[in-house]
């Protein structure tokens, strides 16, 4: 398939329990002209074998399926970069291999994109947990900057999987490889910056987000995830400042506050806390919904009572086991 209309990129890592349902939903799409790109990030299980098993039931899709394999595990961001770099479609959708999609998702998003020559089309989705679905309704914004603001404030989902995006837009973004926490945020900010025409398809949920397997791509320790948050927020702040986006520093403020609080809950050292986003060291006292314990920790650090802070964290860590 030399010039497919849509490329679907799917990372594969430790999803044996879910890949069959995902693959069935992909291969059963009502839309015909799809290129499927699966990237095996050195999965330790038999996910690829199960994928090929499902493919046997869809012989008409066989020539449209490409499986690429990393020589060593590289993480979600690098895996998506591998997939998008091989994509030939006019549009790309990056999906997660433990989720599934409505049979008409690709058709509906493609038709909407072609109707208005849109760079990005996004849709509603539903969260799945314990056999129940919760529909999530998205919002509409009036400009790229407004989209970016709402993504950073958390009022619009940064997820890549409910978005059909022109390949030429994906080709412009920087993949922050090695930092696999808030990676969708880092990517979405760039995608919406470079997109000129954006459409929201306000229909039934077309994507089903599986909340029962939220750590399938990476079983990384908390510190690695925390570093991912920090590096991606640093990238976003620098990117928006470089593009002279007004008020962008206020949009990332809440994300930085979250990181600072997340550090305390993950028992980081006082020095690490002080040296990360130091401009916020005195700001958390006035934040709503900050626990008394966190405020005490902040006070101890700012008063240079590091020994007491570290001892308190050790005690809490022992009690939480």
pLDDT tens, residue by residue, 86-101: 999 999 999 999 999 9
pTM passes above 0.85: yes
Residue 216: its pLDDT value, please? 41
Q: What is the pLDDT averaged over residues 47-63? A: 98
Q: Which residue has the higher pLDDT, 283 or 206?
A: 206
Domain shared by 159 and 267, yes or no: no
Do 198 and 227 have their domain in common? Answer: no
% pLDDT > 70, the chain: 94
| Residue 136 predicted with pLDDT over 60 | yes
Are 201 and 254 found together in one domain?
no
Pick from 166, 190, 210: which residue ends a domain?
Answer: 210
Lowest mean pLDDT among 144-148, 246-250, 259-263: 259-263
Mean of the per-residue pLDDT values for the chain? 91
Same domain, 166 and 54: yes
50, 181: one domain: yes
The residue out of 169, 184, 210 marking a domain boundary is 210
Across residues 69-86, what is the average pLDDT?
97
- The model's pLDDT over 222-232, given as tens digits with 9 standing for 90+, comes to 788 889 999 99
Please report, for the domain that includes residue 114, its CATH number.
3.90.550.10
Segments forming the whole domain that contains residue 297: 222-319
How does residue 1 score in pLDDT terms, banded at 50, 70 and 90? low
Whole-angstrom distance, CA of residue 277 vs CA of residue 287 = 16
pLDDT over 60 (residue 215): no
Report which DSSP code applies to 39.
Answer: E
Q: What percent of the chain has pLDDT over 90?
A: 74
In a domain, 1, yes or no: no
CA distances from 89 to 25, 165, 189 (A): 19, 10, 22
Q: Please tell me whether residues 77 and 193 are part of one structural domain.
A: yes
Total domain count, the chain? 2
Tokens of 144: 């790229």
Q: Which residue has the tokens 């029962």?
A: 212
Per residue, the 3-state secondary structure of 76-99, as one string, reads HHHHHHHHHHHCCCCEEEECCCCC
């Amino acid at each position: 398939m030399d010039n497919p209309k849509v490329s679907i990129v799917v990372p594969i890592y430790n999803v044996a329990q879910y890949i069959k349902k995902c693959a069935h939903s992909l291969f059963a799409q009502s839309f015909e002209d799809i290129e499927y790109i699966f990237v095996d990030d050195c999965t330790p299980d038999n996910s690829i074998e199960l994928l090929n098993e499902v493919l046997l039931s869809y012989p008409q899709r066989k020539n449209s399926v490409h499986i690429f394999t990393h020589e060593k595990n590289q993480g979600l961001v690098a895996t998506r970069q591998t997939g998008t770099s091989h994509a030939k479609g006019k549009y790309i959708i990056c999906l997660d291999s433990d989720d599934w999609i409505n049979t008409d998702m690709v058709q509906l998003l493609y038709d909407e994109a072609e109707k208005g020559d849109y760079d990005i089309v996004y849709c509603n989705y539903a969260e799945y947990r314990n056999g129940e679905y919760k529909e999530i309704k998205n919002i509409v914004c009036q400009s790229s900057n407004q989209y970016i603001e709402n993504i950073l404030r958390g009022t619009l989902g940064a997820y890549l999987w409910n978005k059909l995006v022109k390949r030429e837009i994906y080709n412009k973004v920087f993949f922050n490889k090695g930092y696999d926490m808030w990676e969708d945020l880092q990517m979405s900010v760039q995608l919406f910056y470079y997109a000129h025409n954006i459409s929201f398809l306000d229909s039934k949920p077309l994507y089903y987000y599986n909340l029962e397997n939220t750590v399938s791509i990476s079983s990384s320790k908390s510190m690695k995830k925390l570093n991912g948050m920090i590096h991606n927020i640093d990238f976003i702040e620098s990117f928006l400042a470089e593009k002279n986006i007004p008020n962008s520093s206020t949009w990332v403020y809440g994300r930085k506050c979250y990181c600072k609080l997340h550090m305390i809950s993950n028992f980081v050292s006082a020095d690490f806390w002080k040296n990360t986003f130091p401009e916020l060291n005195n700001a958390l006292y006035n934040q709503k919904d900050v626990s008394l314990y966190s405020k005490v920790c902040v006070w101890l650090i700012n008063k240079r009572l590091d020994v007491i802070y570290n001892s308190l964290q050790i005690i809490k860590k022992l009690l939480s086991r």
